[in-house]
Amino acid sequence: MKRHSKQCTSDSRRHFLASGAMNVSSVALAWLISQNRGMAEVKKPDLQKRVHDTTPKVPPGEPKARAMISLWMQGGPSHHDMFDPKPEMAKYDGKEFPGEIKYDNAAQSSSKVFHSPWKFQPHGQSGMELSELIPHTGSIADDICLIRSMHTGVNNHGQSIRALQSGRTAEGRPSLGSWLTYGLGSESDSLPAFMSLIDPGQLPVLGVENWSNGWLPSIYQGTVVRPREPRILDLTPPSHLKGKAQRRALEYLEQLNANHLTGYPDSTDLQARIASYQLAARMQTSATEALDLSQESKKTQEMYGMHEKATADYGSRCLIARRLVERGVRFVQVYTANQLWDSHGSIASRLPAACQKVDCPSAALVKDLKQRGLLDSTVVHWGGEMGRLPVVQNDAGKAKIGRDHNTYGFSMWLAGGGFKPGHIHGKTDEWGHKAVENVVNHYDYHATLLHLFGLDHQDLIFNRSNRDQTLTDGQPGKVVKEILA
């Protein structure tokens, strides 16, 4: 599976090995994945030198998924208006909400029921009901697994983002992509294992924390791809250095770094930088090629909406995401701009605009992966850190009203990679307020994801300060069997 860059002569590969930093995959796995839980008690003393790399690792379980693309909808897409119809609410529209509401706030907001002004209709064989705001998503209803009972229970953006992106609401933990690349490495040795495709607008809430490696070695950090051309700067060597000159120069650099490393053999930062030069050298050809959308047919480009103003940006980035996983990248996250979905007010205009930006590209991605036979092994995730409340916020006229945060019940969907297609899992209460049936907490979602990658969330450990750390961090995550294909 591992491809060698054309630039790497056998001579230089030997040299990389001699530097001792990054190519000892067999050792890494031995301590990376602890044995079955039953055997964890008799863990052997850790005598092996710890080496961190991104070479592909074989997971202990049977993997369904090999790669993941997360379409990260930060801000809280309104499930009431997109995924979770509550026709019974119509007759209460504008009336006093009879139940209890958990606001973001101690002080109460408006308690007027807000029935969705958008129409729902069933789609596909599965008859999945989705709203008119996302017609393209409707066209992939039979491919997606819609969870209507997501729950994190923390009503702030930052904390709920952390819950979903890094397992816990605490700051400073590694993100999901870092865990996956730590556990599985990458199938590409010429592209970063974890790539973040940011929006041309503002960075999402928490910024760089979204792709932080936390306390995992920095080799597992996400690499940012710029939202406009050139997507990655400095990919082309200057003409006089092309070929042998640069190859020898980098070998020379590696020699310097290897000498320096002998003074600090345990520094994962120094090791990571050595590896980053090796990767950068290979990216010069492979990333240039991977990011070149002109290689795609006009038909494909249009399928992703690249010819329309509203979808051109997100469509391009979804298409890049497909090209990256096709080339062995493990985890790609495609962001929307800061708080795009945070419809506290003016939901009537803001939500349709947000839907229009991502609906066609997201659906195209699933269809495209499917037609290329990649969907079975690629998880596509679509969702944000929260949903919205069933009541009006900012009661200042039809154009201005919105909905407040709700992390007690919201929707997201997954496709491919072993998730059950055309399936709806879980329910919120009659108001779409709280998840009441088959509740899926963020740690259940993470446990399930790792399971599909052949990893057990309790066994994928990183030893930090003499403590074994995991993504779910002791939370009672369970694999949600009902959503597995």
Partner 1 sequence: MLRLTCAALFVSVFTAYLRAESAAPLRFETDVRAILRAHCFQCHGEEPEVQGNLDLRLVRFMHRGGDSGTAIVPGEPEQSPLYQRLRDGEMPPDESKQISKKELRIIHDWIVEGAGTVREEPESLGLEPYLTEEDKGHWSLQPIRRPNVPTQVNPNLVANPIDAFLLSELKKHDLEFSPTAPPRKLLRRLSLDLLGLPPSPESVQSFVDSIASADGAEKIWSVTVDTMLESPHYGERWARHWLDVAGYADSEGYTDADSERPDAWRYRDYVIESFNADMPFDQFITEQLAGDELVTSPLKNLSAADAKRLVATGFLRMAPDGTGGAVADKLQARHDTMADTIRIVSSSFLGLTVGCAQCHDHRYDPISQADYYRFRAIFQPAFDPDKWQVPTKRRVSLYTDEDRKRAAEIEVEAKKVDAQRTSQQKVFISATFEKQLKELPESVHELARAAHETAAAKRTPEQNQLFKKHPNLNVTSGSLYLYDRKAADELKELAAKATQIRATKPKQEFIRAITEQPGRLPATHLLFRGNPDQTRQELQPGGLSVVSLNTSLPRIPVETSDVATSGRRLALAKRLTHPEYPLTSRVIVNRVWRQHFGRGLVETPGDFGVQGMAPSHPELLDWLAVEFIESGWSLKHLHRLILQSRAWRQAVTNHANRNRVDPDNTLFGSGKLRRLDAEIVRDCILDISGKLNTKARGPAVPVMADRVGRFVIGKENSNAGRPGSVIDMKGEQYRRSIYIQMRRSRPLAVLEAFDQPPMSPNCDKRNVSTASTQSLLMMNSELLLTYSRHFAEQLSQLGLDPAERIEAAWQAVYCRHPSALEREATLGFLAEQQSVFEQLADYKAADGKPPAKSAELEALAVMCQMLMGSNEFLYVD
Catalogue the long-range contacts made by 442-446 (C-beta closer than 8 Å, 24 or more residues apart): 442/150, 442/151, 442/152, 442/163, 442/164, 442/167, 443/167, 443/472, 443/475, 443/476, 443/477, 444/477, 444/478, 444/479, 444/480, 445/147, 445/150, 445/164, 445/480, 446/167, 446/176, 446/471, 446/472, 446/477
Size of the site for partner 1 (CB under 8 A): 82
Beta carbon of residue 328, minimum distance to partner 1 (angstroms, whole number): 15
Cα–Cα dist 266/60, whole Å: 27
Q: Is 228 in the site for partner 1 (CB under 8 A)?
A: yes
> Using the rule CB under 8 A, which residue among 25, 35, 285, 394 binds partner 1?
394
Q: Is 263 in the site for partner 1 (CB under 8 A)?
A: yes
> Using the rule CB under 8 A, which residue among 284, 301, 362, 428 binds partner 1?
284
Q: Binding segment for partner 1 among 61-69, 195-203, 291-299, 369-377 (CB under 8 A)?
A: 195-203
Q: 87 vs 172, which CB is nearer to partner 1? A: 172
Range 313-352, binding partner 1 (CB under 8 A): none
Range 90-149, binding partner 1 (CB under 8 A): 100, 104-109
Range 408-427, binding partner 1 (CB under 8 A): 408
- Looking from the CA of 248 toward its CB, the CA atoms found within 13 Å total 5
Q: 134 vs 154, which CB is nearer to partner 1? A: 154
- Please provide residue 426's backbone torsions phi and psi, each rounded to the nearest 5 degrees: 80, 165
Cα–Cα dist 71/59, whole Å: 25
Q: 36 vs 255, which CB is nearer to partner 1? A: 255
Angle at 286 between CA 284 and CA 289, to 5 degrees: 105
Q: Is 223 in the site for partner 1 (CB under 8 A)?
A: yes
Q: Binding segment for partner 1 among 56-64, 124-132, 224-232, 448-456 (CB under 8 A)?
A: 224-232
Beta carbon of residue 232, minimum distance to partner 1 (angstroms, whole number): 6
Q: Is 219 in the site for partner 1 (CB under 8 A)?
A: yes
Q: Is 264 in the site for partner 1 (CB under 8 A)?
A: yes
Angle at 198 between CA 204 and CA 473, to 5 degrees: 60
Q: 105 vs 121, which CB is nearer to partner 1? A: 105
With the CA atoms of 274, 275, 277 and 282 taken in that order, what torsion angle do they form, in degrees rounded to the nearest 10? 160
Beta carbon of residue 49, minimum distance to partner 1 (angstroms, whole number): 12
